[in-house]
Structure 1
Amino acid sequence: MRSKGHALQSLPFNVMMTLYMNLKEYDKVDSIISEMMEKNIQLDIYSYNIWLSSRGSQGSEERMEQVFEQMKPDRTVNPNWTTFSMMATMYIKMGQLEKAEACLKKVESRITGRDRIPYHYLLSLCASYIKDGDFEKAQSFYDRMVDVGGKPNSSTWETLAEGHIKEQRISEALSCWKEAFSAEGSKSWRPKPVNASAFLELCEQEANSVSKELFMGLLKQSGQRKNKSYASLIGLADEDVSDDDLSLKKDRTNITKDDDDEKEAVAGCMQVEKLEVPSYQSEFRWQDYSAEEYLGNWRD
Structure 2
Amino acid sequence: MSSSTFFSTSFNLYRRISRVGCNPSVIPELQKWMEEGRRIKKFELQLIIKELRKYGRHAHALQISEWIVGRSEFTKGLSDHAVRLDLIAKVRGIASAESYFNSLPEIAKVEPTYGALLNSYVTANMTEKAEALMEKIEELGYARTSLPYNQLLTLYKKTGKFDKVPSVLEQMKRKNISQDKFTYNIRMNICAAMSDIDGMEKVLLEMKYNPMVNTDWSTYGNLANIYIKAGLSDKAQAMLQEMEMKINQWDRELFIYLITLYAGVGNKDGVNRMWQSLKSAFPKLTNMNFICMLDSLVKLDDLEGAEKLIEEWESAVVDYDFRVPNILLKAYVNNGLVEKAELFVELALDKQRKPICNTWEILAEGYLKTMQLDKATQAMDKALSIMKQDEWKPKPANVQALLKHFQECSDMEHEEQYHKLLRDMNFANKEYKESCDTQ
Go from structure 1 to structure 2 and tell me whether the alpha carbon gap of 1:7 and 1:126 turns closer, same or farther (over 3 Å shift): closer
Give 1:28-107 correspondences, 5 Å limit. 28-37=164-173, 41-107=177-243
- The TM-score with structure 1 as length reference comes to 0.61
Hey, what's the Cα distance between the residues in 2 that align with 1:233 and 1:181? 24
Hey, what's the Cα distance between the residues in 2 that align with 1:230 and 1:213? 7
Of 235-244 and 140-149, deviating more is 235-244
Go from structure 1 to structure 2 and tell me whether the alpha carbon gap of 1:233 and 1:222 turns closer, same or farther (over 3 Å shift): farther
Aligned partner of 1:157 in structure 2 is: 294
1:143 is the counterpart of 2:279: no
Of 87-96 and 239-248, deviating more is 239-248
Of 77-86 and 25-34, deviating more is 25-34
- Pick from 388, 395, 400 the counterpart of residue 249 of structure 1: 395
List alignment gaps of at least 5 residues for structure 1.
131-137, 205-210, 253-300
The offset of 1:237, in angstroms, is 6.1
Give 1:22-33 correspondences, 5 Å limit. 22-33=158-169
Aligned partner of 2:364 in structure 1 is: 231
**Equivalent pairs, count:** 234
Name the SS of the counterpart of 1:86 in structure 2.
helix
CA contact under 8 A between 2:191 and 2:199: conserved in structure 1?
yes
CA contact under 8 A between 1:44 and 1:77: conserved in structure 2?
yes
Of 51-60 and 190-199, deviating more is 190-199
CA offsets 1:229-263 (integer angstroms, 9 cap, x no match): 413647746346331343541548xxxxxxxxxxx
Hey, what's the Cα distance between the residues in 2 that align with 1:180 and 1:75? 44
CA contact under 8 A between 1:101 and 1:125: conserved in structure 2?
no
Hey, what's the Cα distance between the residues in 1 that align with 2:171 and 2:218? 24
CA contact under 8 A between 1:126 and 1:141: conserved in structure 2?
yes
Go from structure 1 to structure 2 and tell me whether the alpha carbon gap of 1:77 and 1:126 turns closer, same or farther (over 3 Å shift): closer
Hey, what's the Cα distance between the residues in 2 that align with 1:123 and 1:251? 32
Of 52-61 and 235-244, deviating more is 235-244
Hey, what's the Cα distance between the residues in 1 that align with 2:354 and 2:195? 39
The offset of 1:68, in angstroms, is 0.5
Hey, what's the Cα distance between the residues in 2 that align with 1:181 and 1:58? 45
Hey, what's the Cα distance between the residues in 2 that align with 1:171 and 1:12? 47
Go from structure 1 to structure 2 and tell me whether the alpha carbon gap of 1:23 and 1:144 turns closer, same or farther (over 3 Å shift): same
Go from structure 1 to structure 2 and tell me whether the alpha carbon gap of 1:247 and 1:69 turns closer, same or farther (over 3 Å shift): same
CA contact under 8 A between 2:260 and 2:292: conserved in structure 1?
no
The offset of 1:79, in angstroms, is 0.8
Go from structure 1 to structure 2 and tell me whether the alpha carbon gap of 1:27 and 1:153 turns closer, same or farther (over 3 Å shift): farther
- Pick from 308, 314, 318 the counterpart of residue 175 of structure 1: 308
Larger Rg over CA atoms = 2
Hey, what's the Cα distance between the residues in 2 that align with 1:222 and 1:97? 41
The offset of 1:125, in angstroms, is 2.1
Go from structure 1 to structure 2 and tell me whether the alpha carbon gap of 1:11 and 1:227 turns closer, same or farther (over 3 Å shift): closer
CA offsets 1:38-66 (integer angstroms, 9 cap, x no match): 66543222322222222223333222111
Report the residue type matching 1:56 in the other structure. A
Report the residue type matching 2:264 in the other structure. S
CA contact under 8 A between 1:229 and 1:249: conserved in structure 2?
no
Name the SS of the counterpart of 1:191 in structure 2.
helix
Aligned partner of 1:297 in structure 2 is: none
Hey, what's the Cα distance between the residues in 2 that align with 1:14 and 1:162? 32
Go from structure 1 to structure 2 and tell me whether the alpha carbon gap of 1:177 and 1:222 turns closer, same or farther (over 3 Å shift): farther
The offset of 1:22, in angstroms, is 4.6
Hey, what's the Cα distance between the residues in 2 that align with 1:34 and 1:5? 17
Go from structure 1 to structure 2 and tell me whether the alpha carbon gap of 1:195 and 1:176 turns closer, same or farther (over 3 Å shift): same
Hey, what's the Cα distance between the residues in 1 that align with 2:329 and 2:307? 15
Hey, what's the Cα distance between the residues in 2 that align with 1:148 and 1:107? 14
Go from structure 1 to structure 2 and tell me whether the alpha carbon gap of 1:154 and 1:12 turns closer, same or farther (over 3 Å shift): closer
Go from structure 1 to structure 2 and tell me whether the alpha carbon gap of 1:83 and 1:212 turns closer, same or farther (over 3 Å shift): closer
Hey, what's the Cα distance between the residues in 2 that align with 1:213 and 1:7? 56
List alignment gaps of at least 5 residues for structure 2.
1-134, 280-284, 399-439
